[in-house]
Every structure is written in structure tokens, then in C-alpha cells.
Amino acid sequence: MREPQRHPVEDWMRALPEEQPSLAWRAALNERLAREARRRPFRRAFAASGLAAAALAACAVWMAVVHRREGAEALQEELVAMHRTFELGLDVVGPGLLPEESAIGGSAEPPWVWSESDLEAL
């Protein structure tokens, strides 16, 4: 029987000396892997906190926009209400003073504000 033909590369590979990986290199690799493993949660936490901060900032911006709009609406309502009071007041008081004219400067509220219950008690 003829022996099967052997490839020269195979022979060359067999001829190479068998080498065990260095234990020092392996230990270094293990340490590095451990370090990487420790670093990952920190990175994850950092990424998560960044995301939360971004969300908070977006929330704050949104709140500011809403608050600003609500503030603008409240202000506009007050301005319109005061104008309506002037219109009505001039019709009612004629040449007399409007409640808002109790003093030229001062607070927005006239000093003599009566409630419905006060009037009912009269």
C-alpha cells in the first residue's frame, strides 16, 4: 500500500517548537479585562446621567416656554380686563372718577373692593 502523500507545509508546521503562552502575559490580559469590566458600568452610568441631564434640560426649557406663555396669557387677561373696566366705568361714572383713579400711583387694587357677600349683607 502506498503511504498517503504528505504536504510539505504540514511537515513544516509539525517541525515548529511547541510554545506555551506566558503566564505573565495572561495575567496582564486578565487584569486588563477586569479593568475594562469595571470601567463599563461607570461609562453606562455616565451615559445614563447625561441622558437624564439632557431630558431635565429639555423639561426645563419646555416648562420655561409653557410658564412664559402662561405668564403672557395672564398678563394679557389682566390688561384686557382693565381696559374693559375703563370702558364700563366711563359709561357709568360719566365725569366722575374711575375706581382705578383713586390714586395716580399705587397698587392695582382699588382700596375699596367689596365682595358679593358684602353687598348682600347691605
Partner 1 sequence: MRLVAVLLATGSLAGLGWTRPEEARPLADRVVRSLWTARYSGERTVELLRGLQRVRHSEIVHKDGAKTRVEYLAGSPLEGTVVVEDGRRRYVVRPSGEGIEEGPARGDDAARRLAAMLSDRERFALRIRNGEIVAGLPSRVLEVVDRRGILAQRLWVHPPSGVVLKRELFGPAGRRLGGFEFRRIELNPRFEPGLFDPPGLPAARAPVLERLRALSREAGFLPAHLSPRGGFRLDAVMVRRIAGRRVLVQVYRGREGLVTLYQLESPGERLEALQPDPGLSFHAWERSGRSFVLIGEPPAGRLRELAASLVVR
Residues at the contact surface with partner 1, assessed by CB under 8 A:
68-69, 71-76, 78-83, 85-108, 110-116, 119
- Cα separation, 13 vs 50, in Å, equals 53
Closest CB to partner 1 among residues 10, 118 = 118
Task: Note whether 81 and 100 are within 8 A (CB).
Answer: no
Amino acid in position 77:
E
Residue 96 to residues 81, 93, 101: CA-CA distances in angstroms? 20, 5, 10
Closest CB to partner 1 among residues 51, 65 = 65
Closest CB to partner 1 among residues 30, 102 = 102
User: How near is the Cβ of 120 to partner 1 at its closest, in Å?
Assistant: 10
